[in-house]
Amino acid sequence: MEFSGKVALVTGGAEGIGKGIVETLMAHGILGVAVLDINEEKGMETCKHFTSKYSDSKVEFFRCDVSEEESLKDTFFRAYQHFGRLDIVCNNAGIVDEYNWDRMLKTNLHAVIRGTYLAVELMGTKYGGNGGVVVNVSSIAGLLNQFSLCPVYCAAKYGVVGFTRSAAVSNMYARYQESCVE
């Protein structure tokens, strides 16, 4: 895929795998990246690092709690408005916290589903988009059933894999084409 002229949005982009995704996008000449994360300090630090390293591209931080529906929706739209487009959305944010399993499900599964639908909506022709790519990050726990210490985490990651596989072959994109939207 050619990245020049493209804009990406990465949830959980301030550190870890998300930061690595941002690094890869920046290294391949992407026009801009919206870094979404709940950790404002790390997010600002990450953007400052990439801004100084890659002066040709634009990276912006948006504080977002992906486990909160309104926060996720509002931040996707703010990022879209800031850059004027989205071409790539990477639903990467995730946590491991079996004691707070409800929040873990909201972060690891619900946010991926919502993020996918928001991405398809914003990249569809209704908002002037030309399509795009959605990448949903799971883990090996979504493919194997050998993580007995984290059953809810595994359930969420299995859900991400199942949802992504089903969404990839569904016709959900058609619902966001100009002719199909009220």
Separation between Cα atoms, residue 104 and residue 111, nearest integer Å: 10
Sheet of 88-91, strand order:
58-63, 32-37, 7-11, 88-91, 133-136
Catalytic residue among 54, 80, 153, 176: 153
Catalytic site includes residue 173: no
Q: Nearest 5 degrees, angle CA 22-CA 136-CA 36?
A: 45
Strand partners, 177: none
Q: Which positions are catalytic?
A: 153
